[in-house]
Structure 1
């Protein structure tokens, strides 16, 4: 996988911004959003092989700037590999189903995991899921981490995870 999710995030978010946000309240005008705490668990893949499992925690902030909602995340794998970063999400809803794209630069600590070529690693991906009537979301996420060619070594790392996110009602 390459930077496909990052490109999709930018295309979808900027298109949404131009169509739905710029004409009304301003392209990046802040507005209240539902904050969430998400917990994910799943497989880590390197060079198309499953190498470990990862626990991932993410906080989606209670504000959006146009279609972009700030998000902060941290993950830890069984081999001591860690990642922490912040960026943004873009979400679209289909009744109670949803799709969310994210793009988050962060810091990678290798532990006993693979050499990804840089301490700076970008995490981008997609989540597809369902929101229950109580606001809890259940989703399947797939993401890719790489250094966007900041280094000559850039093999990338993928995760497939089950995610549950809880509304926090912070305003």
Structure 2
């Protein structure tokens, strides 16, 4: 796994939680916007475009500190399937600007269809996105994510996806 996603996620999420939640209760449950996301992008394996991917995810209507639980599943044009759950951090919580940045980190299970062998079924998916909110209805963003097995085996090539994400608020 490209560990930069994990490092950024823990540094930013931890700092946000410490600065904004720890004066009262660091990991208390608070309300958050419940959202569903659909994203579409090109997938890359060792810098070669190998197809497309559709990814659907759901953000739960709560946060623990600065981290919001999220679940997702993706399918590529090579019939590769990934499903996982983890956490998401976003600047939306600390800024009133319609422009936001978000990071997520989700471990999951990868089922290889006709796509590349990633060396191990457990694959970590780290994502970085930037976008714009449209009030209380949703947002549009661009994203980059990386999946790999975090060196659980000698074979750890990883897959990247670059694309667009449309989000809809369910509240």
- Give the TM-score category using the shorter length: over 0.9
Whole-angstrom CA distance in 1 between matches of 2:2 and 2:67: 22
- SS of structure 2 residue aligned to 1:8: helix
User: Cα deviations across residues 84-126 of structure 1 (Å, max 9, x unaligned)?
Assistant: 0000000003510011100000000010000111000000011
Instruction: State yes or no: 1:112 paired with 2:111.
Output: no
The gaps in structure 2 that reach 5 residues or longer are none
CA distance in 2 between partners of 1:69 and 1:135 (Å): 18
SS in 1 for 2:109: strand
Could you tell me which residue of structure 1 aligns to residue 82 of structure 2?
83
Structure 1 gaps of 5+ residues are none
Q: Which runs of 4+ in 1 moved over 6 A?
A: none
Output the TM-score relative to the length of structure 2.
0.96
**In 2, are the aligned partners of 1:39 and 1:164 still within 8 Å (CA)?**
yes
How many aligned residue pairs are there? Answer: 168
Partner of 2:155: 153
Per the alignment, residue 165 of structure 1 pairs with 167
- Check the 8 A contact 1:5/1:125 in 2, yes or no: yes
Range 160-169 or range 126-135, more displaced: 126-135
The RMSD of aligned alpha carbons is 1.0
Write the distance in 2 (CA, Å) between the matches of 1:103 and 1:134.
Answer: 25
TM-score normalised by length of structure 1: 0.96
Contact in 2 for aligned 1:6/1:125 (Cα 8 Å): no
Name the residue aligned to 1:129. Answer: 131
Q: Is the 8 A contact 1:32 1:63 kept in 2?
A: yes
Distance in 1 between residues matched to 2:2 and 2:66, nearest whole Å: 24
